[in-house]
Structure 1
Amino acid sequence: MATTGWDNTLVGADAGRTMVSGAHNTLIGSNAGSVLTNGFSNTMVGYSAGRSLTTGNANVGLGIYAGGANTTGNSNIAIGTYSGYAATGGNQNIAIGHSAGYWNTTANNNIAIGTNAGYQNNNGTANISIGENAGQWNNSANEIIVIGQNAGRFNTASRNTFIGASAGGANTTGQFNTFLGPYSGAANNNASTIPSLGCYAGQSNTTGAVNTFVGVSAGQANTTGAENTFVGVSAGLNTTTGSFNTFLGRSAGRLNTTGTDNVFVGPTAGYSNTTGVQNTIVGRNAGVNSNGSQNTLLGHNVAAAMTTGAANTLLGYQAAGQHHRYEQHLCGGRRWLQ
């Protein structure tokens, strides 16, 4: 029972029962703030809300067991059943939703909004987790932003940004990644320094590092390929283990799987290349059917019919447009120069 406290509102069995000198507290519900002694300006509403709070100040707990284990933490907001339940001494945290920020213990400056958002975080700081299960199993990572259902759900690494449903959902130890769009980087495990922007961009990447995927389904099938840059809708869509490729344009290098060291620039440039290596293909539909290697194809529709030629240099509009296979040729315009 309060002895020197003032301006307190206590409603419910054992609400604020040990208060000595606290002030401006509102404790409503059975056991709400039941062991609070000297805290100030706390609002606890719900069964056992803030039940372990002793000297913490300016905390808000709304819901059954909301902020239940907080003892000395200050300026925390927990709204929802079991939200911020295990928090003990952390400060300036916001947890909204059933079990949001549940295991936050001593961490500071976190925002967790949504059922199970930031559930496992205990000492990570400056994190933002918004959406059901967003950042659920993060425990000590710092400065992560995960927004969307299951975004960064298993993430434990710091300084990642995952925005979109299941974006970066499987990432565990990969750092400095940016995944924007539903399922972008969804399978990434421990690869680092990867920006993936667009729905399904880099969806299957697991350990491939230093990749850049921009556009819907860009690099969607990539698993372990490294140092690729795919920009455009479906650019490098089927690449799995190919590395050191640069594909720019819609469906550029779309069917590539294991081909390496290729540069395809333009819509559908190098579209059918699967295993060819060391090609430079520039222009819309340039080398669209080619699966050869070491070709240099520059121009609109250049070598559009070529399939397996190698070591050719073809320059100009529709150069070698009807030829299916040539080796070590030089062509300018539609004229062969051998």
Structure 2
Amino acid sequence: MKFVDSASIRVEAGKGGAGCLGFRREKYIPDGGPDGGDGGDGGHIYFRGQEGLNTLSEFRFNRLFRAKNGQPGQGQNKRGKSAVHLTVEIPLGTKVFDLETDELIGEMTVHDQVMLVAKGGFHGLGNTRFKSSINRAPRKTTPGSLGEAREIGLEMSVMADIGLLGMPNAGKSSLIRQISSARPKVADYPFTTLHPSLGVVSYYDEHIVMADIPGLIEDASEGVGLGFEFLKHLSRAKALLHVVDILPADASDPAENYLIIENELRKYDPELANKPRLLAINKMDLLREEDRVDIVKKLLKDIDYHGDFYNISALNGLGCRDLVEGLFKLVKANDE
């Protein structure tokens, strides 16, 4: 399943250090010449391609990247120290845009590829630079120039291994928070998820990408609700995870909710309805332990489900480790 993961950030390169206004002040040399040194250059900002990064999620929380300024010059013709350049790692496959001009700056395609995105300011000149045959004691200096500042757009095509299915408020966002590093908005009302959220799920040294799309409702295949904008992405997924709320807050029937989603998949694309999947029966923590077996048996019978299923609680993590193991097995089976 392919999504365009995007983020917008601001980069500010460092300012050049100011030149120094200085004169030699030594014993027996009362009228020494100019000795003000130049400032240091401001730091550039580079992007570097990094394998192993799967999403742009970290840039949603850290949106300002600022390089250091160059140090000002000093007397005795000492030049200020230039700033260390700032390097920001981004995932491979990321396109980098200047949002103010819509210019494509470049695309990160190779591990350790380096891209200059904001140039640091040039150093200021000390008054020594302005000494001449007609001006033996110049008092002129220049400040360092400002570094480049740009609004940067990042776009990354992400292939998600697992697509999450479910009615609005079924607990998909809570699940992706529980088993991945993603932090989608979670609240107790339908359509909390308005845009896809991507989470990287780890199992030992392996990783898969899971996509939480907006909850589907009846007639979604015909554009109702948030429409079929996201249904088309599901057809590219390797596998699906259908999340069912076993005790919906609106007192609706879990089996009927499951069948509504399945019907929408069949109406949109029969092949999509036959895609490999697992069933996660969520909010089991709300049921008494002695009732869980009977309630789950009834659900499976009502929906005529014969595949693998997991009883979970996305809120407290009940059964989530077993679910993760099952997801990895499912993805691996469909990679072969």
Q: Same fold (TM over 0.5)?
A: no
Higher helix share: 2
Between 1 and 2, higher relative CO (CA 8 Å, sep ≥ 6) is seen in: 2
Q: TM-score, normalised by structure 1?
A: 0.21
Higher strand share: 2
